[in-house]
Amino acid sequence: MFSDLSAEEARTLITIFSILVPALFYGMGMMEGKHSRTLFLLGLVLHGLSIIYRGYVLGGIPLTEKHDNVSFMAFTTAVVYWRLSAADTSPWYQVTSITAVSLLAIASLLFPTINTISPFMRTPWFTLHMFLLYLSYGFFGVSACAGIAYLAEGNADRERLQYQLAAYGWAVYTIALVAGSVWFFIAYGMYWLWTSRELFTTLCWFFFGLYLHQRYLKGLAGRPAAIIGLLGYLIALFAYFGVGTIIPAPPVQF
């Protein structure tokens, strides 16, 4: 049966299974017992291998189209959660984080795989921009999960963790935007275009910046801070998934 598949169909099938299997192990990480972290780690390793496989297929860093971007977003969220999970055993934090990782991984399958890379994207500035952008999404995602855990449990440590992770994410996001502007100038001859995508990117940056400023200098804390931080992640998700789908984003011609 598999011998009848074309090379393209075989690659698509491998890509689907290479996402579904890690998502399954991620979900099993919500099981109680000492094996839950082992199962989650296995999912993380398998997910990393799937990203390496996509890089092999593309012949370059797999960060140039939505399927790979969303998959990498799920991977960075999983890495940030894994790094912190040993010291934080909150059930709400665990369930929300693992659910977010699994949903993002599965969401990547909603987008077709594109097995070519534009020459304009084969630059270190573009790679740095995309890598840091989706790393920041990982920090924002786990930050939001910590905020949900705080709202559900009332443990102030969760709200502080939410703020700290959002601060890391915002710093990385800022560097990503600078690298993206440099790449944009190299590719298009300008640093910025005021399209809907750039507007929502700017809105996301300002929103998190104001949240962090108010939290640090003005004493914003507790439930209001947690809700605002959670809204920031929703804005970041809309900036990626909503712009171009719900709100048109005109393509830029090379």
- Give tens-digit pLDDT for 105-152: 999 999 988 888 888 888 899 999 999 999 999 999 999 999 999 999
pLDDT at 233 over 60: yes
Overall average pLDDT of the 218-247 stretch: 88
pLDDT at 3 over 70: no
**195 compared with 157, residue with greater pLDDT:** 157
In this prediction, residue 89 carries a pLDDT of 77
Percent of the chain with pLDDT over 70: 91
pLDDT at 194 over 80: no
Mean pLDDT of all residues belonging to the chain? 88
pLDDT at 11 over 80: no
> pLDDT grade, residue 247 (50/70/90)?
low
Overall average pLDDT of the 196-224 stretch: 89
pLDDT at 237 over 70: yes
Domain range list for the chain: 1-117, 120-254
**69 compared with 9, residue with greater pLDDT:** 69
> pLDDT grade, residue 86 (50/70/90)?
confident
Q: Which residues pair with 243 in a beta bridge?
A: 247
Mean pLDDT check: name the lowest of 163-167, 186-190, 248-252.
248-252
In this prediction, residue 126 carries a pLDDT of 93
In this prediction, residue 254 carries a pLDDT of 39
Rounded Cα gap, residues 243 and 137, in angstroms: 16
pLDDT at 253 over 60: no
Amino acid found at 164: Q
Quickly tell me which residue has 């275009």 as its tokens: 193
HSE at residue 229, side-chain half, CA atoms within 13 A, is: 38
**160 compared with 11, residue with greater pLDDT:** 160
Question: How many Cβ atoms sit within 10 Å of the Cβ of residue 40?
Answer: 26
In this prediction, residue 69 carries a pLDDT of 95
